[in-house]
Amino acid sequence: MRDKKIIDWNNNQKLLKSLILKKEHFDLAIELCLKQHAMVHSSNVSNNNFNTIEDDLWNCLDDSTFRGFVKTDHGTIARNIWHTTRIEDLTMNILVAGESQILNESNRIEKLNSIIQDTGNAMTDSEVIEFSKHINKEELIRYRVAVGIKTQAILKTLKYDDLKVKIKKSRLQQVLDEGGVLNIDGANWLIDFWGRKNVAGILLMPATRHNLVHINQSKRIKEKLQRKQKR
């Protein structure tokens, strides 16, 4: 049975895409974007009184499943959560807002105990396994919530004309300089991808759609590993 939350989310995303650059619908588009974003984060981000799509992923998710590796869907839930959070942090805080990334705050890098600081796009299977073994799960959850809260705040400050602004080359270079994206094959295509977008494009992908893609992958990993545990 298909998940009604995901069906509704996809329908709303199509609506958001159709509205986001129409000036007469700006307020509605931002309101919808806030809701779409909230649904692909935990309810701690927006203080919703209902379960989000991400809440459903965390429900009954034990530590071994969080870290467990499968060959498909980018390997582990830990890697997917890290990857989406890093990309949202970099794109919303540096590229859109022109501010510093959340990762650099409050001694967060050390607390996370991560073997990488980039998005993890070019990781090998063995690197994914090693990363997932060592990442501090509780700190990763805190980091993700902090990134989600900041994105909600940024969205609320945007004006219509901001949506049409192209991503600045200097901010793309900052992402590279800070090691958010590695300047190697398998990762640096992200810089070109983001460089072709305006702010509205970043809100559609990655700030909203990208999160759902990797939550869906994480759910498949969860199902595979939990089926295996029951055998």
User: What are the tens digits of pLDDT across the range 48-81?
Assistant: 888 999 999 999 999 999 999 999 878 999 999 9
Q: Which two tokens stand for residue 121?
A: 């796009």
State residue 13's pLDDT score: 98
Query: Is 166 in a helix, a strand, or coil?
Result: strand
The torsion angles phi and psi of 198, rounded to 5 degrees, stand at -100, 180
CB of 33 closer than 8 Å to CB of 140? no
pLDDT digits (tens, 9 = 90+) for 99-156: 999 999 989 999 999 999 999 999 999 999 999 999 999 999 999 999 999 999 999 9
**Quick one: pLDDT band at residue 1, thresholds 50, 70, 90?**
low
Q: Is 4 exposed, middle or buried (0-12, 13-18, 19+ CB in 10 A)?
A: exposed
Concatenating the DSSP letter of every residue in 87-108 gives HHIIIIIIIIT----GGGSTTH
> Cβ(155)–Cβ(97) under 8 Å?
no
Q: Which residues contact 21 (CB under 8 A, 6 or more apart)?
A: 163, 164, 200
Mean pLDDT value across residues 85-107: 97
What contacts 179, CB < 8 A, 6 or more positions away? Answer: 117, 118
Contact present, 9 and 36 (Cβ < 8 Å): yes
110 burial (CB, 10 Å; 0-12 / 13-18 / 19+) is: exposed
Q: Which whole number is the average pLDDT over 87-97?
A: 98
pLDDT (tens digit, 9 = 90+) per residue, 155-174?
Answer: 999 999 999 999 999 999 99
When pLDDT is averaged across residues 32-46 and rounded to a whole number, the result is 97
Say what the pLDDT of residue 50 is.
84
**Residue 214 is encoded by which pair of tokens?**
């990797």
pLDDT (0 to 100) of residue 73: 75
Task: Read off the pTM.
Answer: 0.96
